[in-house]
Every structure is written in C-alpha cells, then in structure tokens.
Chain A
C-alpha cells in the first residue's frame, strides 16, 4: 500500500532554532494535514492545506508555524523559533477525494527541543 513518508524520523534542535519537517504525500493526494502528539497526550490537529492554501488551523498553529509545498510535491511544516513545549511527534497526513474520510498518516517526526 502507498505510504506517506516523513523526514527526518528524529530531529533534535536547540530552543530558538528553526526547524523544517518534511512530508512526501501519496501520489495524487491533494489534501494535506499536520498533527502533533506530545508524549502521553492526545493527537492534536495543527493545520489543513488544500489547493496551496490553508483550509483550517488550530489555536496551536500560531505565527511561529507555517506550511508550504515548495516544489509542488513535498509538504513542509516550519517552526520559526522552537520552544521547549514544541517537543512532540509530528504527523503528516494526506488524502484525496477518492479516499473519502480516510486519512493516511506518516510514521512521524519526533522533534526534541533542548
């Protein structure tokens, strides 16, 4: 079965540094999402993205966060100035109209902010 690929699998950074998390969606998927999961807590919605613009974002997705599709295929999440509380597993998810409500999640990027 096709997979959503996320890189890196683990990212360690210093507080205040910028990080970019990358996602390669399944071919022909057009809807893109980022979720995060802090250790021991719920999976939380960050942002949805379709047709090169944000469809919806949560309160977590503040001015420090941004998303884009820089080359029309990869989908990235940028955190401009990381904070300790940004440490979490970040999941990319994608879908297309044909998959209805089925989201395909990647295996995640574990972000550790020191």
Chain B
C-alpha cells in the first residue's frame, strides 16, 4: 500500500511562532522523504529532502524522519508571513512521489 497521510489544516499562527507539520506513511519500502511548499496557483517547490532517519536543518526549517514509527515532520522556526502556503509531505516509491494532502499554513503579522 502506498499512502502518505498528513495532518489536516488549516493552521494559523502568529509571526515568530514555531510551526510543526506532520505526516505518517505506511510503506516501509519508502526511501526518500520530502517537504514541498505550494503557493496558490503554482506548482510544488521542494523545500527539503532526506534519505535517512534523523534531523536535517536548512535555515529556519528542520525536517525530521523517524523510520521506526513511519513519521515525518517539518519544523519552521521564527515563522514569517511569507511562509504562508500549503506544505506537502511526500515519499518516493520507485520513480513516483506519493504526496500527502497538504497542510495550509497561515502566518499572521
């Protein structure tokens, strides 16, 4: 079974807040885990990807993968209004990306 489930939104936070976005996946064969950001009327844009369990940091963004519990997280520190978008988690199976439904984040100033 190839499924990625994502916490439903929308999520609204004030500027400067720490945001936590989460997904679970069902297939142990998934190797790569990604976070995409999608603005309205645009295609998804890759934020981060990781292959292994553990944390990966890039500026204000931290991706976390726990393969034992099949759990994927994205943390955004010091959130900004420009972070307002839909965030999609994805896992790779073969050549295909399997996406979660997305969490819409709104950061208010």
Contacts and interface: CB of A to CB of B under 8 A. Distances in A.
Interface of A: 4, 31, 33, 35, 41-45, 48, 55-56, 58, 91, 93, 100-103, 105-108
B59 interface: no
A105 B44 contact: yes
Nearest to B43: A105
B102 A101 contact: no
B96 A41 contact: no
A101 B96 CA distance: 11
B46 interface: yes
Contacts of A41: 101
Contacts of A103: 44, 46, 97
A42 B99 contact: yes
B56 interface: no
Contacts of A91: 43-44
